[in-house]
Amino acid sequence: MNEAIITSWAAWSPGLTNRDDWARWALNPTALERSGAPEVEFLPAMQRRRCDALSRMCFQVIHEVCPPEDLGDLTSVFASRHGSFGNMTGLLFALADSRALSPNSFSHSVHNTQAGLFSIWAQNRVASTCVAGGAETFGAGLLEAFGALATQPERAVLLVVADEAVPEPFDSLCDDKGAYALALLLRSRESASGGTPLSVQLERGVVETSMFPDAVAFIRWLMGPERLLRLPHPRRTWVLERS
Q: Where are the domains of the chain?
A: 3-196
User: Maximum CA pair distance of the chain?
Assistant: 57
Phi/psi of residue 31, each to 5°?
A: -60, 140
Which residue stretches of the chain have pLDDT < 70?
Answer: 1, 106
Phi/psi of residue 115, each to 5°?
A: -65, -40
What integer pLDDT is reported at residue 28 of this predicted model?
93
Nearest in space to 17 (alpha carbons), one of 46, 39, 42: 39
What integer pLDDT is reported at residue 165 of this predicted model?
86
What are 114-139's pLDDT values in tens digits? 999 999 999 999 999 999 999 999 99
Element (H, E) at 58: helix 53-65
Second CATH level (architecture) for the domain 3-196: 3-Layer(aba) Sandwich (3.40)
